Amino acid sequence: MKSLVSLLGLALAILAIGCGKSNEVTPAAQSNANSSTAEYVAPDAKGIQTMTVKPAAIPEYLDLPAHIEPDPTRVVHVFTPAGGRIIEMKVRPWDRVEKAQILATLESSDLSRAVADYHKALADDQVKQKELKRAEDLLAHHAIAERDYQQAQADAQMSEAELEATREQIRVFGMDPDHATIELRVAAPRSGVILDIGAAAGEFSKSLDAPAPLCTIADISTVWALGEIYEKDYAIAKSGEQAQVSLNAYPDRRWTGRVSVVSGAVDPATHALHVRVVLPNPTGEIKPSMFGSIRILKSSSPGILVPATAVIREGNGSFIFVDKGNGRYERRSVKAGRSVDSSMEISSGVNSGDVIVSEGALLLQAAAPGGS
């Protein structure tokens, strides 16, 4: 009986010692838990992607505020060729129009006068041509003097010239002289987009004396991105240099072009030079007056770039995970530098050749001590 009690007491003592050791944290383990280079095992490696760090040229850009304008050589201000009352405006701002499409119709007294002058000149010419034929016949029979024939010939030539002048006047109005009416139809001189409208139905137009055009048409299949560069950076922007244009309306997109022109004179008001980048715009998605920026490469320096998704910010510090193989990852503190597009410069903490977690670092962050 005594031996049984002794054995039971010994077992309880051993169990108490074992429990006490399991609750203790060794200094080495505590240090490893707090270390920035602790190793972790991924709970699920499906969402984790890795990459090998390689040296890269880190660009430094010059960003210029910019806005979009149509090419001035592709902009047409449409004025009515004759004065009159506007009956109907057939287009609205931002309508797409084709060449020769009717933009507006007017009831024009100028056109009416031109048509009347044409018909008068036509009737007069018919009379003068008949008189010339009669004079030719009389001259052949020696019934009139040659002087009278020459006068009839001159009269016929003058009437023909007057007829052609009145016919041309109606053509200027964009009408067929033989089918013209008092209704003047203003046609589009080119294909493009209606930028603005300067008149409305019921108004009287003063033809070319009007203070504003009937409408303005622009071909925006090619547009200009215009920016300003200050004198200290003038050497950076040269004609032919590659440039990237981003627009506030499309924050996730960039258009690549080249600097086509740098102005030859400094703006006296801003002390800046104007920079132009020509952009193709076949779909018309880039609109005049949009705001954005022009990015020009300023310089580049060697360094290390990693995807921004690889860097995790924690308080004032940053860290990444380095793949140590066999599903184990080392958390390592790094010093992050500039952001370059979707990448980030790492100035210390990572070396070329290291294999780091480029996607899925947050999965490891959740498994890290103190992670969430």
- Domain ranges within the chain, ordered by starting residue: 61-72+219-300, 82-108+182-218, 110-175
Whether the CB-CB separation of 270 and 226 falls below 8 Å is answered with no
Q: Has residue 211 got a pLDDT over 70?
A: yes
Averaged pLDDT, 166-184: 86
Whether the CB-CB separation of 98 and 206 falls below 8 Å is answered with no
Averaged pLDDT, 71-82: 91
329/294: higher pLDDT: 294
Buried b or exposed e, range 236-247, using 16+ CB within 10 angstroms? bbeeeeebbbbb
Condensed to tens digits (0 to 9), the pLDDT of residues 315-349 reads: 888 888 888 887 788 888 888 888 887 888 888 88
Q: Is 227 helix (H, G, I), strand (E, B) or coil?
A: strand
What is the fold of 82-108+182-218? OB fold (Dihydrolipoamide Acetyltransferase, E2P) (2.40.50)
Band the pLDDT of 40: cuts 50, 70, 90: low
Whether the CB-CB separation of 329 and 368 falls below 8 Å is answered with no
Q: Has residue 294 got a pLDDT over 80?
A: yes
Cβ-count burial of 25 within 10 angstroms (0-12 exposed, 13-18 middle, 19+ buried)? exposed
- Architecture, CATH, for domain 110-175: Orthogonal Bundle (1.10)
For residue 220, what pLDDT is reported? 94
From 64-78, 150-164, 255-269, the region with the lowest mean pLDDT: 255-269
Percent of the chain with pLDDT over 70: 84
Band the pLDDT of 32: cuts 50, 70, 90: very low
Identify the helix (H) or strand (E) that includes residue 215.
strand 215-218
Q: Which two tokens stand for residue 154?
A: 């001159």
List C-alpha distances in Å: 304 to 46, 54, 90, 301, 330: 26, 7, 60, 10, 19
CATH number of 61-72+219-300: 2.40.30.170
Band the pLDDT of 264: cuts 50, 70, 90: confident
Q: Has residue 4 got a pLDDT over 60?
A: no
270/209: higher pLDDT: 270
